[in-house]
Amino acid sequence: MRFPLFAPALFAAFTLPALPAFAEAAADAAAPAVTETLPAISVSSVEKRLLRDRVVASGLIAPVERILVAPLIEGQPIEALEADVGDYVQAGQVLARLSRTTLELQKTQVAASRASARATIAQIEAQLIEARASADEAARVSTRTAALQKQGSASQAAADQANANAIAASSRVTAATQSLEAARAQLELAEAQMANIDLQLDRAEVKAPVAGEITARNAVIGSIATAAGEPMFQLIKDGALELNVDLAEIDLPRVAPGQTVLMRSVGSVEPLTGTVRLVEPTIDTATRLGRARITIDSTDLVRSGMFMDAEILIAERETVAVPVTAVGSSAEGTTVMKVAEGVVSRVPVKTGIRDGGWIEVLEGIAPGDNIVTKAGAFVRDGDRINPVPFEAAVN
């Protein structure tokens, strides 16, 4: 079949104008998308929070002051016990009674010795009066005889005899005086022995030296009282208890008297409160631990020997805080990844208190700044990201 000669020209007239539009459409279909896809990274807004710096420790409840009661006299059997474990006693209250039989016999003997000494003193005093009278008379005779001898009315022998009699009488006065002093010394000794017996009789009653609660009783009726073995009773002075906790060397300089403490025991519902009373000045050379003594505000729910955990509050303040996961380490030190207009930059910071999942930032960032929530995320200084609020990411 043949086409007319004008057919090619007619075909070209209809088809040629459509070629540019078709080529442009084909080019648009083949062109790739140029939109940039940024990684979605969770960020947190820096804000202020109430943080608490605490030292966690544990220890045992113990008496503030433990009193050991031992007998003050030995060798006497125990006749009666007047107190038992758990009793609260007052100062001076009788806890036990010792036998008084031997002491009362000794008191009788000493009383007889004292009466004898008093009788001896009375006799010697009478002898002393007589000796002084005789000495005075002998002295007067000696004086008169000496005067007569000078006048020639008495012989020299008579004068010498009178003088000798005066000297002898004076010596008897001296002897009587010394005997009286010895008798008085015997009386003083008997008085001292009597006072000692009275003291031992008083000590036959074993009394509480202070008020407190009895925690142990080792005394047994019929046993011989002695201070060489175990004490008869153990007391907690005034019933006061405290918590003794062990502290690491690094924590010791931070703990000081007056700091508040929260304490919990096994099975307790509500924590107990207290304050640091004393930080001991020495460290155990074996364990390398120090010790703090904590006063308990209410001791009704604790017993000596209980184990408790304690949180010592070192500091409490409202401060700039970030999640712990946001803080990392680099060659520059401690850093966070700050986000501004979608660009990440590494910022050195200075940290302080760490409380749970939050950490204080003292320098480097301010409230309102955005930071990468997890410093370990795959972002680098200068990266562009699609920031997603951390709360939204969690929800």
Residue-wise DSSP of 254-280: G--TT-EEEEEETT-SS-EEEEEEEE-
Answer whether 32's CB lies under 8 Å from 58's CB.
no
List, in order, residues 6 or more apart from 357 with CB less than 8 Å away. Answer: 323, 324, 325
Residue 235 has pLDDT above 50, yes or no: yes
Residue 193: the pLDDT is: 93
Residue 237: the pLDDT is: 93
Lowest mean pLDDT among 29-33, 235-239, 286-290: 29-33
Q: What is the DSSP string of 129-174?
A: HHHHHHHHHHHHHHHHHHHHHHHTSS-HHHHHHHHHHHHHHHHHHH
- Amino acid in position 75: G
Q: Which of 307, 347, 275 is nearest to 59 (CA)?
A: 307
Residue 395 has pLDDT above 70, yes or no: no
Rounded mean pLDDT, 320-335:
87
DSSP state of 252: G
* Mean confidence (pLDDT) of the chain: 86
Query: How far apart, in Å, are the Cα atoms of 363 and each of 46, 151, 350, 353, 360?
Result: 12, 126, 5, 13, 9
List, in order, residues 6 or more apart from 148 with CB less than 8 Å away. Answer: 154, 158, 159
Q: pTM higher than 0.75 for the full model?
A: no
d(CA 128, CA 115): 20
Which residue did the predictor score with more confidence, 367 or 159? 367
Predicted confidence band of residue 154 (pLDDT cuts 50, 70, 90): confident
Lowest mean pLDDT among 18-27, 65-74, 154-163, 281-290: 18-27
Residue 9: the pLDDT is: 40
Predicted confidence band of residue 146 (pLDDT cuts 50, 70, 90): confident
Residue 311: the pLDDT is: 94
- The angle formed by the CA atoms of residues 70, 74 and 75, to the nearest 5 degrees, is 135
Residue 233 has pLDDT above 80, yes or no: yes
What pairing do the DSSP bridges indicate for beta strands 40-45 and 386-389? parallel
d(CA 179, CA 161): 27
Residues of the chain above pLDDT 90, percent: 57
Predicted confidence band of residue 36 (pLDDT cuts 50, 70, 90): low
Rounded mean pLDDT, 205-228:
93
Query: What digits encode the pLDDT tens for the residues 274-283?
Result: 999 999 999 9
Residue 67 has pLDDT above 70, yes or no: yes
